[in-house]
Structure 1
């Protein structure tokens, strides 16, 4: 099991962008992250610069860090 992560918002970050860029997570994880960060949704669509976001620990089966690649031609 992985440990929780702390992410810091950059200028213009939305929560889904921050999670994708810094943790490789997809929008399916938003609810879990919002539950771990009370009041985060109240900050609005764009996170204030420097906002700390806690990403709760996940099991290896749900967060492998591997992205699927679709290849159109061989």
Structure 2
């Protein structure tokens, strides 16, 4: 379920994504698509900006470690 995130002082879009989702890969683009007005704002968002955080796709599975010497 999408939630609303309220920015803190000095936050950027990717930092807000990291704080909300725990990652930026594959979610920053989703947030920008859900909030088209954010792309026109400055890099540092004003404090108190409301951002709609859509549901994120699941994190990709970790790749198995390949060892050349076993």
TM-score normalised by length of structure 1 = 0.69
Number of residue pairs aligned between Structure 1 and Structure 2: 59
Structure-2 separation of matches of 1:38 and 1:27: 18
In structure 1, runs of 5+ residues without a counterpart are 64-74
Task: State the superposition RMSD in angstroms.
Answer: 1.5
- Which residue of structure 1 aligns with residue 11 of structure 2? 13
TM-score normalised by length of structure 2 = 0.73
Structure-2 separation of matches of 1:57 and 1:28: 11
1:1-74 mapped onto 2 (5 Å cutoff): 3-59=1-57, 62=58
Structure-2 separation of matches of 1:27 and 1:44: 21
In structure 2, runs of 5+ residues without a counterpart are 60-70
